[in-house]
Structure 1
Amino acid sequence: MSEKVVLYYFNGRGKMESIRWLLAVAGVEFEEVYLTTEEQFRKLVNDGALLFHQVPLVEMDGMKLVQTKAILNYIAAKYNLYGKDIKERVMIDMYSDGVRDVMDMIMVLPFTPADQKQKQLDKIQEKAKERSLPAYEKALADSQFLVGSQLSCADVHLLEATLMLEELFPTILSTFPKIQDFQKRMKVIPAIKKFLQPGSQRKPPPDEVYVKTVMSVLSFIFK
């Protein structure tokens, strides 16, 4: 197994994007293997690389890691992005899971039938404005970071999520000044600034090619 970190996923965001973000912020270089055929996926399954027959798959530290949350928690713990004690970690988990709820809703949008997309957009916007963003605005009222006195994976996930929301709803943060200030602070962190530049391993919003590839690779699931 390669000593380098290797990511196995599609050439697009999906569940791997948060992993890319966290590795980038931790300053970890990684390679990617893009799945483009059903045969590639089935080979990973047959080789025993996919514990639950699902991607993302990350080869790291001599392990083949699956399950997004487990991968993110491992990276965060290894690179000091997971708080100083168990109480901070549980708060980080709470904020991270709250962000993930919104991102999961956005992830399914490209796969939503055209006649249902507006309904899904409305649900995303309502949940973000009425439930999620107010919680993060309050958390940032008197603190530079969501939890404790240093950067954590929860902060990285929040930045990723708010940028995704702004792609869909450009003015959604207009009534959340603390989150706007938070974004500005985060964007000047060198590793994040680099990841936000053109040519980085950050993926663009999903397009039709990405959707068709995913559907093709996982076609056996939809039969």
Structure 2
Amino acid sequence: MSGKPKLYYFDGRGKMESIRWLLAAAGVEFEEEFLETRDQYEKLLQGESRWVPDVSAGAHGGDRWDEDGADQSHPQLHCSKVQPLWEGPEGKSFVLKDHGQDFLVGNNFSWADVHLLEAILMVEEKKADVLSGFPQLQAFKARISSIPTIKKFLEPGSQRKPVPDDKYVETVRRVLRMYYDVKAN
């Protein structure tokens, strides 16, 4: 397949938001087709191919998804492979606070950094001052947010989706027929 990858999903975050983040972080331009009807969804399910671009180079902490790096822990992080930047009260670190690295996996920008930033920003949407007592996480957020591809994705008008609203929830329910076509046995 040539050209830009096309994502098929609802016009909202959901499980696709992490994919958008990773593609944007890797500098991969992508198109989207938003599911709005059950027919679109069923056509997608009947499709024969599923194509996922290889955006791993440079986005995981090495040249490829290496065996002892970021990929073996996906979708969860192994503490032995990732140096958390979490701090306790009064800035006291529970783990290696100053491991001399700017990123979570080695000294390379990886998907782990992208996912942590995404999580931080989502929590801040609920409680804006959540990082007020955590200078290491504040510094991490600032550092990762300043990477050009991430900075571009955080700008207004990007393909990043807003907080889900009632319209989004209703569309998902309608397309997936959740809470609608439930039949008694």
Same fold (TM over 0.5): yes
Q: Which runs of 4+ in 1 moved over 3 A?
A: 138-141
Give the whole-Å Cα distance in 2 for the aligned partners of 1:214 and 1:141.
44
**Which of 69, 89, 97 is the matching residue for 2:76?**
97
1:7 aligns with 2:7: yes
Alignment match, 1:87: 68
Q: CA deviation at 1:206?
A: 0.4
Q: CA RMSD in A?
A: 2.5
Cα separation, partners in 2 of 1:24 and 1:162, compared to 1, 3 Å: same
Instruction: Map 1:13-52 to 2 at 5 A.
Output: 13-49=13-49
Cα separation, partners in 2 of 1:20 and 1:139, compared to 1, 3 Å: farther
Report how many residues are paired.
Answer: 165
Instruction: Map 1:167-186 to 2 at 5 A.
Output: 167-186=125-144
String of CA shifts for 1:117-145, please: whole Å, max 9, x gaps: xxxxxxxxxxxxxxxxxx54146543311
Letter in 1 for 2:148: P
Give the whole-Å Cα distance in 2 for the aligned partners of 1:180 and 1:40.
42
Give the whole-Å Cα distance in 1 for the aligned partners of 2:40 and 2:3.
21
Alignment match, 1:123: none
String of CA shifts for 1:27-72, please: whole Å, max 9, x gaps: 11100000001111011122345xxxxxxxxxxxxx534xxxxx8x
Unaligned residue ranges in structure 1 (runs of 5+):
50-62, 66-70, 99-134
Flag the structure with higher helix content.
1
Identity %: 49
Letter in 2 for 1:213: T
String of CA shifts for 1:72-127, please: whole Å, max 9, x gaps: xx53x2x3222334222357x26x525xxxxxxxxxxxxxxxxxxxxxxxxxxxxx
Give the whole-Å Cα distance in 2 for the aligned partners of 1:182 and 1:80.
19
Unaligned residue ranges in structure 2 (runs of 5+):
78-83, 87-94
Alignment match, 2:106: 148
TM-score normalised according to structure 1 size: 0.66
Preserved CA contact (<8 Å) 2:7 2:32: yes
TM-score normalised according to structure 2 size: 0.79
String of CA shifts for 1:179-205, please: whole Å, max 9, x gaps: 110001111111111111100110000
